[in-house]
Amino acid sequence: MPDPTLSNSPANTPTDLSTRDTSETLQDSDLLKRLLSSRQGPKIHQRQRVADSRLFHIEAIDLEFSNGETRQYERLVGKGYGAVMVAAVTTDHQVILVKEYAAGTECYELGLPKGLVDPGEDHLTAANRELMEETGFAAKSVTKMTEMSLAPAYMSHKIQLLLAQDIYPQTAKGDEPEPPEVVFWPINKLDLLIQSGQCTEARSLAGLFMLRDKLANL
């Protein structure tokens, strides 16, 4: 005989489950509204290129904000066609990392494969090429996850994060000064990776956490 307490429980009725789902959706919608800004951007009075290098140029921008305040900001502007970062994952949920020398911090740094988009490439093609050049693997499936910025107060740079799946061995000649060290790391051990101090690059860490969440919801 069915338990009348269980069968009549409001928490188990389809109507209430639907209402709860709708409530969660409304809450997400309300949260997203908080991210919107009613402010207009400052007026740009002048842009001036003040320095150049092979990869970047520095631009000075004279701004006037809505309250009348004026400032001059400098920013680093990249050249080229954009950049990609690849979260390549195996069927047993291991992510492919590479250890390369980072001239900025003067040490070897572990992170996701990344690089510039070449002329004539789209981001998906560039991601697979970088994966082959840096790891010796290619992917049958490459999809966009999101776009990231790095220090947006000072840099115009943005990078596309792409998910690479159905991995198979495939190499391509790259421009690295030495072969990167390839490391397969279980995505459920991110805390241990961070504690090791071997992976500190913010974009790679953000990409790894996004990958972990995505795989958990599949």
Position 39 scores a pLDDT of 80
Structure tokens at 145: 């996850």
Facing residues of 73 across strands? 61
For 2-56, the pLDDT digits (tens) are 444 333 444 444 444 444 555 566 688 888 888 887 788 899 999 999 999 888 8
pLDDT tens for each residue of 154-199:
999 899 999 999 999 999 998 889 989 999 999 999 999 999 999 9
Domain 83-216 has CATH 3.90.79.10: yes
DSSP track, 6-54: HHT-GGGSHHHHHHHHHHHHHHHHHHHHTT---PPPPEEEEEEEEEE-S
Of 91, 29, 123, 96, the residue nearest 218 (C-alpha): 91
**Domain segments of the chain as ranges:** 4-30, 43-78, 83-216
State the average pLDDT for the chain: 88
The pTM for the full model equals: 0.81
The pLDDT value recorded for residue 21 is 54
Q: Alpha-carbon dihedral of residues 129, 135, 138, 142, nearest 10 degrees?
A: -70
